Amino acid sequence: MDAKERDEKIELYGRGCDLLKAALAEVPQEAMKFKPEPKEWSVYEVIIHIADSESNAALRARKLIVEPGGSIMPYNQPLWAEVLNYHEHNFEDALEVTRLARKTTYELLKRVPEIVFNTHWIKHPEYDEPFTFDKWINTYSAHIPGHIEQIQNNLKIWRAQK
């Protein structure tokens, strides 16, 4: 990934919370806990997941900067949602966790020297190859937009069943 493409993805990453808030403004309160299928997440659960994921992403970015070559912890996302009972979490707090994790990490990414982007990697147990900063940026710049699609799909199904 060249510097221009990386900067574009970092800017997309930085806009993630604004994009998410705009998407959530379209979701009626009564649709928040609707699950299209029993094993699929509601919009509410998606938001709690995003907070957990963004917390992990923030730590992973810091690990990439400070401890290249080290290992990171995987986590079983569906199991977290089930065992932690995401519907019992505070929705507004999750949005705030996401906002702060994104804000502080975005600001950090803007200060990272080019050499770090080009040379640092960590071991991710779910990947055979090194988890590079480019992989991190690709993953997390697309994370919220991907869940926005999921939110919009949930809303579409909810409206069709209404």
**Number of domains within the chain:** 1
Confidence class for position 61, pLDDT limits 50, 70, 90: very high
| Angstrom distance (rounded) from CA 28 to CA 155 | 9
Sign of the Cα torsion 108, 114, 117, 121 reads negative
Arithmetic mean of pLDDT over the chain: 95
Give the domain extent around 128.
3-161
Query: Would you state the pLDDT for residue 73?
Result: 87
Query: Would you state the pLDDT for residue 63?
Result: 95
Query: Would you state the pLDDT for residue 74?
Result: 87
pTM score of the predicted model: 0.94
CATH number for 136 = 1.20.120.450
Query: Would you state the pLDDT for residue 1?
Result: 86
Confidence class for position 41, pLDDT limits 50, 70, 90: very high
> 86 φ, ψ to 5°?
-55, -30
Number of neighbours of residue 108 by Cβ within 10 angstroms = 13
Give the pair of three-digit tokens for residue 42: 């509601």
